[in-house]
Chain A
Amino acid sequence: MSAGAGQRNFVEVLGARLIGSISYIGGMAILLTQAIGASKATLARSSGRQAIVGQMVRVGVRSVGIVCLVQTFIGVILALQMAPPLEPLGQVHQIATIIGIAGFRMLGPILTGVIISGFAGASIAAEIGTMVVAEEIEALRAHALNPVRFLVVPRLLATLVMMVLLTIIANWMIAIGGYVTALLVLKPEVSAGYWALMQENLLLRDFYSGLIMAGVFGVLISLIACYEGLKVRGGAEGVGRATTMTVVYSIVSIVLAAGVFTTIFYVFEF
Chain B
Amino acid sequence: MCDTDTTERRPVIRVVDLVKRFGGRAVLNGINLEVHPGETIVIMGGSGCGKSTLLRHMVASLFGDEGRVELLGQNLNDLNESGLNALRLRFGILFQSGALFNSMTVGENVALPLREHTGLDEQTIDIMVKIKLEQVGLREAADLMPSEISGGMKKRAGLARAISLDPEILFYDEPSAGLDPVTSAEIDQLIMDLSGKLGVTSVVVTHEMDSAFTIADRMAMLDMGRMLKIGPRSEFEALRDGPETGDETGDLIRQFLRGDPEGPITARRLSTGYEEDILATAGE
Q: Using a CB-CB cutoff of 8 Å, which residues 90-116 of chain B contact chain A?
A: 92-93, 95-97, 99-102, 112-113, 115-116
User: Per-residue 0/1 for B183-227: is the Cβ within 8 Å of any A Cβ (1 yes, 0 no)?
Assistant: 000000000000000000000000000000000000000000000
Cβ of B161 to closest chain A Cβ, rounded Å: 8
Known contacts A47-B115, A139-B93; A144/B88 CB under 8 A = yes
Given the complex, which residues of A lie within 8 Å of B96, measured CB to CB?
A: 135
B102 contacts A134, C-beta separation under 8 Å? yes
Known contacts A141-B61, A142-B88, A144-B88; A135/B99 CB under 8 A = yes
A138 contacts B88, C-beta separation under 8 Å? no
The residue from B89, B100, B101, B115 contacting A144, defined by CB atoms under 8 A apart: B89
B99 contacts A136, C-beta separation under 8 Å? yes
Check B117 for interface membership: any CB of A closer than 8 A. yes
Check B85 for interface membership: any CB of A closer than 8 A. yes
Cβ of A130 to closest chain B Cβ, rounded Å: 8
The residue from B88, B95, B112 contacting A135, defined by CB atoms under 8 A apart: B95
Check A145 for interface membership: any CB of B closer than 8 A. yes
Q: Using a CB-CB cutoff of 8 Å, which residues 13-62 of chain A contact chain B?
A: 47
B59 contacts A142, C-beta separation under 8 Å? yes
Cβ of B117 to closest chain A Cβ, rounded Å: 7
The residue from B86, B97, B102, B113 contacting A143, defined by CB atoms under 8 A apart: B113
Given the complex, which residues of B lie within 8 Å of A141, measured CB to CB?
A: 61, 88
A145 contacts B59, C-beta separation under 8 Å? no
Which secondary structure characterizes the binding site on chain A? Answer: helix
Q: Using a CB-CB cutoff of 8 Å, which residues 104-161 of chain A contact chain B?
A: 130-131, 134-136, 138-145
Given the complex, which residues of A lie within 8 Å of B116, measured CB to CB?
A: 143-145
Considering the complex, give the chain A residue whose CB is closest to the CB of B109.
A139
Given the complex, which residues of B lie within 8 Å of A144, measured CB to CB?
A: 84-86, 88-89, 116-117
B97 contacts A135, C-beta separation under 8 Å? yes
A138 contacts B61, C-beta separation under 8 Å? yes
Residue among A135, A138, A143 having the largest count of chain B Cβ atoms under 10 Å: A143
Given the complex, which residues of B lie within 8 Å of A145, measured CB to CB?
A: 112-113, 116
Cβ of B67 to closest chain A Cβ, rounded Å: 21
B113 contacts A134, C-beta separation under 8 Å? no
Residue among B84, B99, B112, B161 having the largest count of chain A Cβ atoms under 10 Å: B99
- The complex places the Cα of A123 from the Cα of B62 at a distance, in Å, of 28
The residue from B59, B99, B115 contacting A134, defined by CB atoms under 8 A apart: B99
A143 contacts B112, C-beta separation under 8 Å? yes
Which secondary structure characterizes the binding site on chain B? Answer: mixed
Cβ of B169 to closest chain A Cβ, rounded Å: 12
A142 contacts B112, C-beta separation under 8 Å? no
Residue among B84, B95, B117 having the largest count of chain A Cβ atoms under 10 Å: B95
- The complex places the Cα of A140 from the Cα of B102 at a distance, in Å, of 12
User: Per-residue 0/1 for B38-65: is the Cβ within 8 Å of any A Cβ (1 yes, 0 no)?
Assistant: 0000000000000000000001010000
Given the complex, which residues of A lie within 8 Å of B92, measured CB to CB?
A: 142
Q: Using a CB-CB cutoff of 8 Å, which residues 107-147 of chain B contact chain A?
A: 112-113, 115-117
- The complex places the Cα of A130 from the Cα of B95 at a distance, in Å, of 15
- The complex places the Cα of A140 from the Cα of B93 at a distance, in Å, of 11
Considering the complex, give the chain B residue whose CB is closest to the CB of A47.
B115
Known contacts A47-B115, A144-B117, A145-B116; A139/B101 CB under 8 A = yes
Cβ of A104 to closest chain B Cβ, rounded Å: 37
A136 contacts B102, C-beta separation under 8 Å? yes
Given the complex, which residues of A lie within 8 Å of B97, measured CB to CB?
A: 134-135
- The complex places the Cα of A130 from the Cα of B116 at a distance, in Å, of 23
Given the complex, which residues of A lie within 8 Å of B161, measured CB to CB?
A: 143
Considering the complex, give the chain B residue whose CB is closest to the CB of A133.
B97
A142 contacts B102, C-beta separation under 8 Å? no
Considering the complex, give the chain B residue whose CB is closest to the CB of A143.
B113
Given the complex, which residues of B lie within 8 Å of A136, measured CB to CB?
A: 99-102
- The complex places the Cα of A130 from the Cα of B117 at a distance, in Å, of 25
List 13 additional contacts besides A131-B101, A134-B99; criterion CB under 8 Å.
Answer: A135-B96, A135-B97, A136-B99, A136-B102, A139-B93, A139-B95, A139-B99, A139-B100, A143-B117, A143-B161, A144-B84, A144-B89, A144-B117
Residues of B in contact with A (beta carbons under 8 Å apart): 59, 61, 84-86, 88-89, 92-93, 95-97, 99-102, 112-113, 115-117, 161
Q: Sample 14 A-B pairs with CB under 8 A, ordered by A number.
A: A135-B99, A136-B101, A139-B101, A141-B61, A142-B59, A142-B88, A142-B92, A142-B93, A143-B88, A143-B112, A143-B113, A143-B116, A144-B116, A145-B112
Q: Closest 5 A-B residue pairs measured CB to CB?
A: A135-B99, A144-B85, A139-B99, A144-B88, A135-B95
